Amino acid sequence: MTVVRIPAYATPPLAPRSNARNGQYPAASFAHTTADLANQAVLVRTKEVARWVDGQALQPGVGPPEWIFGGDSDRDRFRCVFHTSPHVRRMWAVITYGPPQLDFEPDDPSSPHPVPASILLRISEMDDTPLADIVVACGISLDRAGELISVTDVPLRPQFLSAYGPAPFLSWADPSVIATIPGNTTLQLTATELQNARLLSFCVYEESLAPDTDNGYVDPNVAVVLGPIYDARREGIAGLLRDQWVNGSAHLLNWSDPLNPRQNTTTTLRNLIDDTSTGAPSASSLGFTLDLRNTKRVSTSSSGVLVTVWARVSCNSGGRVRLLQDGGAFVDVGPFSDSDFTWVSGTGYLVADLLKCDIQFSKNGAFPSNISVDSVSAYLQG
């Protein structure tokens, strides 16, 4: 076990002509620089796996919406599947949320009863075994007129004032209580509002393992002036970078709308986002522009992509979801065979270029009678 010191700033450019000349032993400074660059790439090149914003978020000047007053239901707002980097340590979350709702006595609207609402972000294995929970308690109470009654336990932080009271709040959920997240593993994330909490936006991103040789980092101090540079050290640098390149599985997209799953009762592929348009991706179609130009290739012109879909069918087996790239390349997912929502994955190849992509879905025969799609995620295949 050796703690590795990694420069906070970019290292000087490599100078192979003076430090690694043909037929000469490489200088120690050259060996130091290559180790620093490899360590920096692993420590800093983490990724964001989820970002979500409520399309009906609170608007300035608008009175308190109905969800503030009454009910204590829980509801999922987002879900996705992602693949962790090889050197991930844990996940961070930044969450923006609004005030929770209140219960009122029917005959005494002046007596609100605060509901202990909270936001839950849960990271689980694909078999639903929980690995980590990020919980934010929303301890704020408003009366029906929007006046502040009390603030209890509001975690961290700055308030953003709206026309009807202090909302939303910004919270950095402390990940120190989160279990270790396994590297190079496919996991799922679910965002849930408990007892009518109001989730407005969030993002979740990785934190790398601590820089230590036990975690795969390379100790640059092994190379000393006029000392030998062994093959094992070069192998360590090459292996570290290759692992990050091959298994990094850059995240490409998420689409999720658990409150309004899309349904299709026809065999015509239809745009999943607007639930209306058909045909090839265009500048006006709702979709994603994916930049695959500098990604890991399976050929000179193609990158492998894995698409995972949370969907169900009405009966029997069938249905398909397609990630369609401008130009005709696509990845299909299906058939689906469960009347309950479940994750189903498909792999394929897209052109390694900057191109528009649409998500489309349909049933694909007399049965099933319909397909319902809740969420879609895609990432580069390892």
Cβ atoms 100, 114 nearer than 8 A: yes
User: CA-to-CA distance for 250 and 381, rounded, in angstroms?
Assistant: 8
What six digits make up the tokens of 212? 């230590």
Domain ranges of the chain: 16-44+217-247, 48-208, 252-380
Answer for the pair 138, 147: CB distance below 8 angstroms, yes or no: no
190: closest CA among 343, 51, 91, 78? Answer: 78
What pLDDT is attached to residue 151? 39
In this predicted structure, the answer to whether residue 142 has a pLDDT above a threshold of 50 is no
d(CA 274, CA 287): 9
Pairwise CA distance, residues 194 & 101, whole Å: 11
Better pLDDT: 177 or 126: 126
| 3-state DSSP assignment of residue 130 | strand
Fill in the DSSP letter of residue 27.
P
What tens digit of pLDDT does each residue of 120-138 get? 888 999 999 988 887 776 6
Note whether 117 and 196 are within 8 A (CB).
yes
Q: Identify the pLDDT of residue 362.
A: 94
DSSP string computed for 368-382: SS-EEEEEEEEEE--
Q: What is the C-alpha to C-alpha distance for residues 272 and 263, in angstroms, rounded to an integer?
A: 9
More confident residue, 264 or 365: 264
Confidence of residue 367 (pLDDT cuts 50, 70, 90): low
pLDDT confidence of 366, banded at 50, 70, 90?
low
Alpha-carbon gap, residue 377 to 265, rounded angstroms: 23
- Residue pair 196/73 in contact by the 8 Å Cβ criterion: yes
Residue type, 247: N
Higher pLDDT, 305 or 298: 305
CATH 2.60.60 assigned to domain 252-380? The reply is no
- SS3 string, 140-187, reads EEECCCCCEEEECCCCCCCEEEECCEEEEEEEEECHHHCCCCCCCCEE
CA distances from 179 to 86, 122, 171, 332 (A): 16, 11, 20, 34
pLDDT of 229 > 70? The answer is yes
Cα atoms in the 13 Å half-sphere on the side-chain side of 125: 7
Q: What percent of the chain has pLDDT over 70?
A: 77
In sequence order, the 6+-apart residues with CB closer than 8 A to the CB of 370 are 263, 264, 265, 313, 314, 363
Whether residue 67 has pLDDT greater than 60: no
Helical segments of the chain, H only = 16-19, 28-44, 231-247
Q: Where on the phi/psi map is residue 89: left (φ > 0), alpha (ψ -120 to 50), or beta?
A: alpha
Please give the mean pLDDT across all residues of the chain.
79
- Compute φ and ψ for 241, nearest 5 degrees: -70, -35
